[in-house]
C-alpha cells in the first residue's frame, strides 16, 4: 500500500449522502401524525329526565353563583368565584355549556352566543373573556420575549472530530446569521386565536350558495362576528370571503369582483341587495306577531328571541312598541305581575321578568317540598 493511500481518508467518507432513512419508531410516529385526522370536538348538550330536576339544578346553580352581565370591572371576581364553585361542586365539563348560559346576561351573553361554536367548557369562555378585556398573559418558557429579542445563531454546523476533513486556514471570519423575534406576547396570542377562528370558519361554516332558503343577514352576522373576534381587517375579509361561497354565489362574486373595488363595505351592500329577500321585513313582522313565549321557554331565551325579531322586522322600531309587544307575547302567568311593575323599557322589562321567574321557581320548589312532606305524613299515619 502506498503512502498516498495511507494519508487519504476512507472512500466511504467522501461519498455524498444520497439517502437517509428514519428509524422505524420515528417513521411510524410521523406516519400516524400525518395520516390520522384530528377529531372535531363538539359541545355536549345536557338533558334532564324531568322539568323538576332541571329546576332544582338551576336553582342550586343560581344560589351558589352570580350572573355576569359583561362589566369589565366585575370580570376577574366573577371568573374566580365561578371557577371555585365549579371545582368545589364537581360539575363535569359536559355540564359547562348549560351552566354558562344561565350565568351570563346582557353583553356577556351576546358575546357568548356569537362564539358558542368554539366554547366547549368554562375554561374556553374564560380565555376569550380575558383576551377580550386584554387581561390574558400566556404562560411561556421564558419570562419575557424581550430576553430573546436578538438571538445570534451560528449557521456553520459543527463537525465530528472522527470525520473531520483537513480545512485550509484563512483569515475570513466565520459567517453567522442573526434571527430577530419581534412579536410580542399579545401578538402571539392574537395569532393563535386568529388561526383557530379561521380554521373553524373553513371547517364548520356552511358555504353560501345563493339559494332562497339561506338567511343572508344571519349568515353575514355569523361571518362578521368571527372576523371581528379574529381582528381581521376589511381588506383581508374581502380576500377570504370567496372561500365561503359556492355555486351561484361564487359565480356572482367573480363576475362582480372588479366592480366591488376590493372594498368590504361595497361588497356587503351589493351582496345584501342581490341575495336578500325583498320581503324580509314583512315576513319578520308576521313572525313577530305570531310569536309567543311557550311554557317551557325560560325568560332569558324569550327576550333574546324577541330582540332578534325586533331587529329583523324594523331596526328603527320605537322602545314603546317593543315594550308593548313584549308584554303581549310574554306567558300569561307573568303578564299581570309585569303590568303592575310598569317597566319603562325593554331592558327594564327583562330585569323584572327574570326576577319574577326566579321567584316563581322558588315558590314552585317550596310547594313541591310541602307536598312531599304531607305525602310522607299521610303514609306514616296509614302505616300506624
- Quick check: 299 and 354 in contact, CB under 8 A? yes
Q: Do the domain assignments include residue 36? A: no
Write the pLDDT tens digit of every residue in 57-102.
Answer: 888 888 888 888 888 888 888 888 888 888 888 788 778 888 887 8
What does the alpha-carbon distance between residue 37 and residue 117 come to, in Å, rounded to a whole number?
Answer: 20
**Degrees, nearest 5: CA angle 72-77-81:** 140
Question: Is residue 234 domain-shared with residue 319, that is, in the same domain?
Answer: no
3-state secondary structure of 22: coil
One domain, residues 286 and 352? yes
Question: Where among 276, 300, 327 does a domain terminate?
Answer: 276
Answer yes or no: is 168 within a domain. Answer: no
Quote the number of domains for the chain.
3
Residue 324 domain-assigned? yes
Residue 205 is assigned to a structural domain of this protein: yes
- Give the phi and the psi of residue 19 in degrees, each rounded to 5: -140, 145
DSSP state of 297: S
Which of 137-141, 167-171, 341-345 tops mean pLDDT? 341-345
- Which CATH number covers residue 329? 1.10.1200
Q: Is residue 215 part of a domain?
A: yes
Residue 4 in any domain: the answer is no
Q: Are residues 268 and 289 in the same domain?
A: no
pLDDT given at position 171: 52
Same domain, 264 and 312: no
The average pLDDT across 332-348 equals 91
Nearest 5°: CA angle at 79, between 78 and 85? 90
**H helical segments located in the chain:** 3-7, 11-14, 24-35, 51-64, 72-89, 96-103, 106-114, 122-132, 185-204, 216-230, 234-240, 247-256, 264-275, 280-290, 299-313, 319-329, 332-341, 346-383
Range of the domain at 338: 281-383
- Domain termination site, one of 276, 299, 331: 276
Write down which residue in 276, 293, 316 finishes a domain.
Answer: 276
Cell of 60: 342550586
Q: What is the model's pLDDT at position 143?
A: 41
pLDDT in tens, 7-58: 555 554 444 444 445 455 444 444 444 444 444 444 445 667 778 777 888 8
Residue 262 resides in a domain: yes
Q: Is residue 379 over pLDDT 80?
A: no
Amino acid at each position: 500500500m502506498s503512502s498516498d493511500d495511507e494519508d487519504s481518508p476512507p472512500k466511504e467518507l467522501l461519498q455524498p449522502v444520497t439517502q437517509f432513512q428514519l428509524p422505524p419508531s420515528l417513521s411510524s410516529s410521523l406516519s400516524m401524525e400525518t395520516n390520522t385526522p384530528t377529531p372535531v370536538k363538539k359541545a355536549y348538550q345536557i338533558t334532564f329526565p324531568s322539568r323538576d330536576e332541571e329546576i332544582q339544578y338551576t336553582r342550586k346553580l343560581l344560589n351558589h353563583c352570580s350572573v355576569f352581565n359583561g362589566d369589565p370591572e366585575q370580570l376577574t371576581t366573577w371568573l374566580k368565584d365561578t371557577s371555585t364553585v365549579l371545582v368545589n361542586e364537581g360539575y363535569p365539563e359536559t355540564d359547562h355549556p348549560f351552566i354558562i348560559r344561565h350565568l351570563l346576561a346582557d353583553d356577556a351573553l351576546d358575546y357568548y352566543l356569537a362564539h358558542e361554536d368554539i366554547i366547549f367548557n368554562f375554561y374556553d369562555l374564560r380565555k376569550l373573556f380575558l383576551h377580550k378585556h386584554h387581561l390574558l398573559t400566556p404562560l411561556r418558557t421564558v419570562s419575557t420575549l424581550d430576553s430573546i429579542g436578538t438571538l445570534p445563531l451560528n449557521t456553520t454546523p459543527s463537525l465530528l472530530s472522527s470525520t473531520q476533513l483537513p480545512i485550509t486556514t484563512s483569515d475570513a471570519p466565520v459567517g453567522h446569521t442573526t434571527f430577530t423575534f419581534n412579536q410580542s406576547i399579545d401578538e402571539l396570542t392574537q395569532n393563535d386565536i386568529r388561526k383557530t377562528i379561521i380554521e373553524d370558519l373553513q371547517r364548520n361554516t356552511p358555504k353560501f350558495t345563493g339559494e332562497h332558503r339561506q338567511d343572508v343577514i344571519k349568515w353575514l352576522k355569523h361571518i362578521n362576528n368571527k372576523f371581528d373576534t379574529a381582528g381581521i381587517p376589511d381588506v383581508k375579509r374581502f380576500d377570504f370571503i370567496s372561500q365561503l361561497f359556492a355555486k351561484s354565489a361564487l359565480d356572482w362574486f367573480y363576475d362582480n369582483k372588479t366592480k366591488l373595488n376590493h372594498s368590504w363595505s361595497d361588497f356587503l351592500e351589493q351582496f345584501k341587495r342581490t341575495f336578500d329577500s325583498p320581503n324580509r321585513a314583512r315576513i319578520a313582522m308576521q313572525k313577530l306577531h305570531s310569536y309567543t313565549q311557550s311554557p317551557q321557554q325560560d325568560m332569558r331565551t324569550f327576550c333574546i328571541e324577541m330582540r332578534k325579531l325586533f331587529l329583523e322586522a324594523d331596526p328603527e322600531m320605537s322602545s314603546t312598541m317593543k315594550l308593548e309587544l313584549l308584554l303581549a307575547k310574554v306567558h300569561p302567568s307573568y303578564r299581570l305581575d309585569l303590568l303592575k311593575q310598569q317597566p319603562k323599557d325593554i331592558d327594564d322589562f327583562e330585569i323584572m321578568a327574570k326576577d319574577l321567574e326566579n321567584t316563581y321557581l322558588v315558590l314552585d320548589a317550596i310547594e313541591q317540598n310541602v307536598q312531599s312532606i304531607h305525602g310522607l305524613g299521610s303514609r306514616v299515619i296509614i302505616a300506624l
